[in-house]
Copies of this chain bind each other. A is one copy, B any other.
Amino acid sequence: MSLHHATSGEKIDIHPLGDKLTQTASTALLRTADLEVMRVVLAKGRSVPEHHVSGEITIQCIEGTVEVQAHDKSQVLTASEMLYLEGNVPYALNALENTSVLMTILRKPEPTDSDAAKYD
């Protein structure tokens, strides 16, 4: 994870990674007390196993093709599609192509560490 988090008024680059995708790590772009934005990079065939986070999330596909399993169904996201999930809804990701997604997470106070740790 990147150690730099955006501050108020700072531009954040979310261009597709293209050829650099497979050499790029997932990155936390923004993290405040209430909000977390990260780019999750998944090379083709990589998955994020089913889990849940306490806060609401949106998953926006920046590039590639990713299968999202949630609410007992599977949906495919391509660039410029996003999915909203309520808090505590289990979901899994499976990259059908080299994919990066922008995850926006409403952080909820928890005794444990950040949800972002799951993507480290």
Q: In the complex, A60 Cα to B62 Cα: how many Å?
A: 12
Contacts of A106 in B (CB 8 A): 34-35, 106
Determine how many copies of this chain the complex contains.
2
Contacts of A34 in B (CB 8 A): 56, 106
Q: Is A6 an interface residue (CB 8 A)?
A: yes
Q: Give the distance to chain B from A14, nearest Cβ to Cβ, in Å.
A: 5
**Which of A1-36 touch B at CB < 8 Å?**
6-16, 30, 32, 34-35
The contact of A86 among B8, B71, B73, B81, by CB within 8 Å, is B8
Contacts of A8 in B (CB 8 A): 70-71, 84-86, 89
Residue on B nearest A15 in the bound complex, by CB:
B80
Q: Is A92 an interface residue (CB 8 A)?
A: no
Q: Is A48 an interface residue (CB 8 A)?
A: no
- A13, A77, A84, most chain B CB atoms within 10 A: A84
Are A77 and B13 also in contact (CB < 8 A) when A35-B106, A58-B30, A104-B104 are? no
**Which of A61-104 touch B at CB < 8 Å?**
62, 70-71, 73, 75, 77, 80-86, 89, 104
